[in-house]
Chain A
């Protein structure tokens, strides 16, 4: 079939047949991906939505009506009125603000410095980017060794005394913030570099002719031109920082030394105290929050693009 396209009769039909086959084949191409995503992503999500309205513990035997037992919005009401949960929300918010602010400022600053063209620039960019593609939990372990008050280098290099960064509840959040900033500043840097590289040269040349100041060029050309890409970096970083789990697991672990972060709490509720349905409800609240943040930021992103 298809070899003899010069034959006039039936050619239209043939083309039609082929088009149909084409369309089917494209669907067949997409099918495995969709099946997999629906089976191992969508289906579980619907399941946990159901669980979040029940009282269920994965540790106990399933008895319909008892475990899981339908309790309506009981879990959600409990979460929103629990002062301990609010502490978790606030700590997570603090974490997001501190890490993302640090990463945006440092990352963009580094990118501005790296705009200078010099020999070895590529090598330095690659070296700076290394932390970003490491496993967060292993980066956590690495920083745990680095922070150790008895022999680690962190205090020593900064000339601090034997400060305990990990088990002190007033400091452990900052110990994770520092490691997070270390790990993800390159991400912002890399995106900023891409954005800065895409600013048309003639804009600067025109400004040069007008004898514009450095500050003028920066605020009137550079910032507006790179703001969409900075927004994109911001969105990615906020989402990631909000659901942070691996890094604190590497540094403090989930036990008594852990700062009250949402994802860690979700883990403890679901897999340590085995309050599965309550955990699912926390998960759904996090999901809604991530979606809300993303939607708001994407709106700003589209505005920045115009």
Chain B
């Protein structure tokens, strides 16, 4: 519907759009600052007032991905030796006079995060979709009570649950294992998955299933061949949400993983001292970690409201 606007309205409109743009830029400053710091050359990192314009470098990323040792004092490499270095070795040497000894701890933590998050997301989606279908189509007594019970498990503060879980995991030797965190994240996410998936399945017309049942399909065939294909968007959106939640989880990971199965959020905040207050490397690590969640958020934007309200609001 095109509306005829007078000059006053047009100016007001321009002012509001301008205001929104300014707010958005201000809003993104902390994030831009991290990206900015992560590409800042070593010599400017500790400058105050902060240097804004410079030639960006990826040296900070090299530092967060590697473990380095300082060269003994007095050792000076010749031009030839510097020439023969790999490009990343040269970057590190020029900045901090260090030698790369091995891969850093970040790749390992990143891999842990990926294993645990994908493992738990897959299990969550499988059992969550089954349960959601059961709750959506089943006619059992006390259905709403069970659904409410499932929801309350998610409302508990994780710090309350963490004490008994810690004791339980300790006696089952599940602390610092991938499987332990996968189980925990599955429990953490399954209530969410059931609620959101139930909303998606409720929207699928039941008539197809009834017709298929009359045609002699078994209930399981109906579920696999009719419900699942129609629920793919819902399943994908729910899976991405579960991925983001598990990717970001901190309290459980921090308490229940020490080294072997440690995830990035449990590890990165404690690197400041270890990195010798290398702010550039910390910023680089932060950005590398935030990137997947940011990309997924952009993919998910149409389903965000539904997800963050556990399916209470369907847009």
Contacts and interface: CB of A to CB of B under 8 A. Distances in A.
Interface of A: 2-3, 5, 21-23, 25-30, 32-34, 36-37, 40-45, 47-48, 51, 58, 110, 113-114, 116, 118, 122, 124-138, 140-146, 148, 150-153, 156-157, 162, 182, 187, 190-191, 193-194, 197, 229, 232, 236, 239, 242-243, 245-246, 249-250, 253, 263, 266-267, 270-271, 276, 279-280, 283-284, 286-287, 290, 294
A47 B265 contact: no
B194 to A, nearest CB: 6
Given A156-B48, A290-B157, A37 B139 contact: no
Nearest to A254: B254
A194 B211 CA distance: 36
A30 B130 CA distance: 6
B46 A110 contact: no
10 contacts: A33-B128, A36-B187, A48-B160, A58-B167, A113-B16, A118-B13, A129-B304, A131-B30, A135-B247, A283-B160
Report the 7 A-B pairs with minimum CB-CB distance, sorted nearest first: A44-B164, A26-B138, A243-B157, A29-B134, A135-B248, A283-B160, A33-B131
Interface residues of B, number: 97
A142 B130 CA distance: 39
Contacts of B251: 245-246
Contacts of A190: 304-305, 308
Among A194, A284, A286, residue most surrounded by chain B Cβ atoms (within 10 Å): A194
B163 A283 contact: yes
B231 interface: no
Given A33-B194, A48-B163, A124-B24, A145 B279 contact: yes
Given A145-B34, A283-B159, A135 B16 contact: no
Contacts of B282: 141, 145
Interface string B24-65: 100111110110010000000111111000000000000000
A102 to B, nearest CB: 14
B224 interface: no
B77 interface: no
Given A133-B293, A135-B289, 5 more contacts: A127-B24, A151-B279, A284-B160, A287-B156, A294-B155
Contacts of B184: 40
Given A41-B153, A44-B164, A150 B48 contact: yes
A3 to B, nearest CB: 5
B189 to A, nearest CB: 11
B268 A36 contact: no
Contacts of B33: 142, 145-146, 153
Contact of B313 (A23, A37, A229, A263): A229
B30 A143 contact: yes
A138 B157 contact: no
B296 interface: yes
A141 B133 CA distance: 40
Among A151, A182, A242, residue most surrounded by chain B Cβ atoms (within 10 Å): A151
Given A138-B286, A145-B282, A229-B313, A276 B163 contact: yes
B150 interface: yes
B160 to A, nearest CB: 4
A245 B187 CA distance: 20
Say what secondary structure dominates the interface of chain A. Answer: helix
Contacts of A37: 149-150, 153, 187, 190-191
Nearest to B313: A194
A51 B163 contact: yes
A267 B286 CA distance: 24
A33 B23 CA distance: 43
A280 B138 CA distance: 37
A116 B14 CA distance: 10
Nearest to B305: A194
Contact of B159 (A5, A122, A124, A266): A266
Nearest to B296: A133
Contacts of B294: 130, 133-134
Given A29-B130, A135-B265, A246-B251, A263 B137 contact: no
Nearest to B170: A58
A45 B164 contact: yes
Given A34-B146, A151-B45, A243 B161 contact: no
A126 to B, nearest CB: 5
Interface string B176-194: 0000000110110011001
Given A33-B190, A271-B255, A116 B17 contact: yes
B190 to A, nearest CB: 5
Contacts of A135: 247-250, 265, 289-290, 293
A144 B283 CA distance: 11
B164 A51 contact: yes
A178 to B, nearest CB: 10
Contacts of A29: 130-131, 133-134, 138
A135 B266 CA distance: 11
B206 interface: no
Contacts of B128: 33
A153 B170 CA distance: 43
A232 B293 contact: no
Contacts of B155: 239, 290, 294
Contacts of A137: 250, 254, 265, 269
B294 to A, nearest CB: 6
B163 A191 contact: no
B69 interface: no
